[in-house]
Structure 1
Amino acid sequence: MPPHDHHNQQIRERKLSPAFKIAIVFSLVAMICIVISFASPNWLQHDSRFSQYQMKNLGLWEVCFKGFRHPHQTFDKVYNGCWWVFSRYYDELLDYIEKGFFIAVQVFMSLGFLLFFISMAMLIPVFLRLFDIDTEISVTLVMSGIMLISFFCHFMGLVIFGFRGKDSDWMPHWKWNYYSWSFGFGVVGALLQLTSAILFLVDCTGRKKFIFERKKEDIQFDLARKIQGSGV
């Protein structure tokens, strides 16, 4: 087998690095955490031990009330149960729920969620080794970049909610509201996502170094063969 073909085969058959394997595991766990956080209704909860709750729990897309009245409107409508934020039931309450900061949280988390799914879809052909090594590196770099942008979106959404979720002019009895497990899953998922993106970049660096060393060996071999052939 010619040296170039042999080295190309070595590059192609090189096993996945430990960094890549760990990044895959972290990415999958991060995706599970973010899906749970995105879909579950427990970003904010009320501790009923200290007051009679009117807001039971709240997620990105669902709010649960018990005996709640709009504090800024005169009609005596009482809200009970768990409903989708944009349901007709909450028409008169939408301006109260959908504060500017909460809309920003929903937008950032949705964009991050979409970008993370795109990056995970890009991971599949890389994991299955469907590309040549140069394409693999390029796809992995792009995937890592998208994952980092996704992390930034999740980070912004989580930070905004962390600072504003217990505002005194938002959900009732704010002193006894607390950040709950859905919010925690989002934090864990975002941190794992960031770690995964960094590990994928580390893997790309290792693969580039590996290719460079193989090509260097090819050049040295070709040079030695030419010198031997010229009889020097």
Structure 2
Amino acid sequence: MKKRSLAGNVGVGVFVIVLVFTVVAFCSPSWLVSDYRITGAKMERLGLWTHCFRSLRDPSNSGVGLFFVGCRWVYDPFTYGYDKIRVFILPPFMIATQFFYTVSFLLVLIAFVQILLFFLCCGPDQGKYTLLISLIGYVLLVAGIFGGIGVIIFACLANGEGWMPDHQNTFLGWSFGLAVVGSFAAVIDSILFLTEAKIQKKKSGNIKDSQTQFSMEESKA
């Protein structure tokens, strides 16, 4: 019996896209970017975990006259005054985006380990082979759903009025695009692996039926 069908082989190939796009989107700081043609923009770009400002005035209106410049981790504990604007930097919708996309990211990593087992170690002769493929499919399905929820929340609320300054001159960046494609590809990949599981289950059943029929004919002889 062939180790993998076409659905399984394509599923492995599509997963490479899911893994690369999800990891890059998770780590890169270009979910929301400022129009590069606007020289006076206060924000340059931001991601899930990093914000880059050109000259952001302290939004808390503390009267100190602080300006934040450069790229920093959103939980930076060293920059003076940064902790006081964290509520501004991380509104509830941003925390929700971080949560959903982090869960998606972790599930993709779990699927990566499972696919290594599927691709390199396991075969149809092993009892849990079909179960492993099904688990990959379901893990990727949940990863795609959680990632999709995260990008929908971000798309609906990140570029609206009331959060980052100059919102009319900002737009969703390439990191966000990778996140969208990665989440959609994860759902497609889950369908491929669930199809592969069904095919392998059917093949296994056909082999068992053939062996049973052969045994019956041999006993009669």
TM-score using structure 2 length: 0.92
What SS does structure 1 have at the residue aligned with 2:155?
Answer: helix
User: Which residue of 174, 177, 197 corresponds with 2:190?
Assistant: 197
1:125 is the counterpart of 2:125: no
Tell me if structure 2 keeps the 8 A contact 1:51–1:173: no
> Residues 1-232 of structure 1: matches in 2 within 5 Å?
11=1, 14-49=2-37, 52-75=40-63, 76-88=65-77, 89=79, 90-130=82-122, 132-226=125-219, 228-229=220-221
Which residue identity is paired with 2:86? L
Q: Which has the higher helix share?
A: 1
Q: Distance in 2 between matches of 1:150 and 1:128?
A: 23
Which residue identity is paired with 1:110? T
How far apart are 1:77 and its partner, in Å? 0.3
Tell me if structure 2 keeps the 8 A contact 1:51–1:176: no
Q: Distance in 2 between matches of 1:86 and 1:156?
A: 23
Q: Distance in 2 between matches of 1:47 and 1:208?
A: 52
What SS does structure 1 have at the residue aligned with 2:193?
Answer: helix
Q: 1:10-40 deviations in whole A, cap 9, x for unaligned? A: x4xx232111111111111210111110111
Which residue identity is paired with 1:42? S
Q: Distance in 2 between matches of 1:69 and 1:50?
A: 17
Which residue identity is paired with 1:55? M
Moved over 3 A (4+): 48-51, 129-133
Gaps of 5+ in 1: 1-10
How far apart are 1:119 and its partner, in Å? 1.3
Change in Cα spacing, 1:28 to 1:48, as seen in structure 2 (3 Å) is closer
Tell me if structure 1 keeps the 8 A contact 2:94–2:154: yes
What SS does structure 2 have at the residue aligned with 1:66?
Answer: strand
What SS does structure 1 have at the residue aligned with 2:121?
Answer: coil
Q: Distance in 1 between matches of 2:140 and 2:36?
A: 39
Q: How many equivalent residue pairs? A: 216
Q: 1:20-62 deviations in whole A, cap 9, x for unaligned? A: 1111111112101111101111000111435720011001111
**Larger Rg computed on CA atoms:** 1
What SS does structure 2 have at the residue aligned with 1:134?
Answer: coil
Q: 1:84-142 deviations in whole A, cap 9, x for unaligned? A: 11113221210101100000001111111111101110111221233643311111111
- State the percentage of identical aligned residues: 29
| 1:5 corresponding residue in structure 2 | none
Which residue identity is paired with 2:213? Q
